[in-house]
Amino acid sequence: MHQLNKTEKLALLKFNLATNREKNKMILRLLILTVVIHTGLFCSLLSATENQPIYKRIISLYPAHTENLVALGLTEELIGIAASDTYPPEVLSKPRYSHRDNAEKFIAAAPDLVLVRPMIVHAVPELLKQLRGAGIKVISLQPRSVDEMYDYWMKLGKLAGRESKAKQMVLKFKQELTALEKDIEMIPFDDRPGVYFESIHSKMKTFAPTSIAIFVLEQAGGRNIATDAKARRDTNIAAYGKERILSHADEIDIFLAQQGRMNRVSVEQIVQESGFQAIKAVREGKIFLVDEQLVSRPTQRILEGIRVIKNILCR
């Protein structure tokens, strides 16, 4: 067998050292990759490198979308609003659109995003199909609870490149909410006034217990009477019926009704409703109307709704 001389032995040693270094580097890379994957960082790194689309020409077909986009600083990017929009004032002169319009009207405006809600998805699937066929992104959003509302704001921020602003919105809202909660946290739940909160008078409907409207009521210090109400499909509206309302007649200290496009009702109508004189709140004249925009829409203005209802309950 050939005996290695000194020079050959030195060369072999250097080769082995180099090989071991490469092996160690490879092992280290594998260890780091394993840690990254198991800590969830890998997905974050991948998403950070992906090109997220940022939409610059947006049509909103839901007033809450409009209001939130403006709050995110996207007044210029908003090129069209819903026919029913009444707030905020700075966008009310923009072109109006409805889900009853034909696809050509939308396409002519060249939007890159149309924001809708589930009701529109169910009502006009063919229109949305035509818009998507024309290369327009159509996204349906509508949160049904406050927790979903936070996620909804973040999604809007991401779509329009305002994630930082959306985070600020969530943080500011939570801070103000915490301050409002301090006013009622010392009142035992059972000592709070019992409230029936009407959503649609003509159909004897209330709100689902997990809805934003009931959240507003409870944060204001009210106790929801209709805790057994069941949501209708994927909305916050819940059928209740006159019989069930009257079964709680003596428990209803306050009769509260949202008022607006969804519920065009007056105090007189509620008072004159057949059978409603059996309700404690009706007999005592404790019927109050509150603007539906402040209690039903997932916007920052629900803080104002809490303050309005709190003032009602303190009367």
**Residue 42 maps to a domain:** no
Token pair for residue 292? 């539906």
The whole-number average pLDDT for the span 245-251 is 98
Kindly give the residue spans of alpha helices, DSSP state H, lying in the chain.
6-38, 41-49, 63-71, 103-109, 118-123, 125-133, 146-159, 163-181, 212-219, 242-247, 267-272, 280-283, 302-313
pLDDT confidence of 304, banded at 50, 70, 90? very high
Per DSSP, what are the bridge partners of residue 196?
Answer: 255
Stronger pLDDT, 30 or 127, i.e. the higher one: 127
Number of domains composing the chain:
2
Comparing C-alpha atoms, which of 164, 166, 158, 132 is closest to residue 54? 158
Can you give the pLDDT at residue 28? 53
Can you give the pLDDT at residue 42? 36
pLDDT confidence of 43, banded at 50, 70, 90? very low
Entry pTM: 0.81
238 neighbors 206 (Cβ within 8 angstroms): yes
**Residue 43 maps to a domain:** no
301 neighbors 294 (Cβ within 8 angstroms): yes
Residue 7 has pLDDT above 50, yes or no: yes
Percent of the chain with pLDDT over 90: 78
CATH number at residue 228: 3.40.50.1980
Can you give the pLDDT at residue 11? 52
198 neighbors 263 (Cβ within 8 angstroms): yes
Point out the domain boundary residue: 130, 156, 177: 177
Per-residue pLDDT reduced to its tens digit, 193-203: 999 999 999 99
Point out the domain boundary residue: 177, 197, 221: 177
DSSP assignment of 68-82, as one string?
Answer: HHHHTT-TTTEEEEE
Per DSSP, what are the bridge partners of residue 60?
Answer: 115
Point out the domain boundary residue: 177, 200, 231: 177
Can you give the pLDDT at residue 39? 39
Can you give the pLDDT at residue 185? 85
Q: Judge if 198 and 298 occupy the same domain.
A: yes
Can you give the pLDDT at residue 36? 40
Stronger pLDDT, 16 or 92, i.e. the higher one: 92
**Residue 10 maps to a domain:** no
Per-residue pLDDT reduced to its tens digit, 255-286: 999 999 999 999 999 999 999 999 999 999 99
Residue 23 has pLDDT above 70, yes or no: no
Q: Judge if 210 and 168 occupy the same domain.
A: no
Q: Judge if 154 and 253 occupy the same domain.
A: no
Residue 217 has pLDDT above 60, yes or no: yes
The whole-number average pLDDT for the span 153-178 is 96
CA angle 197, 202, 208 (to 5 degrees): 35
Q: Judge if 163 and 232 occupy the same domain.
A: no
142 neighbors 118 (Cβ within 8 angstroms): yes
Range of the domain at 161: 58-177
**Residue 238 maps to a domain:** yes
223: enclosing H helix or E strand: strand 223-224
Of 44-48, 104-108, 262-266, 298-302, the range with the lowest mean pLDDT is 44-48
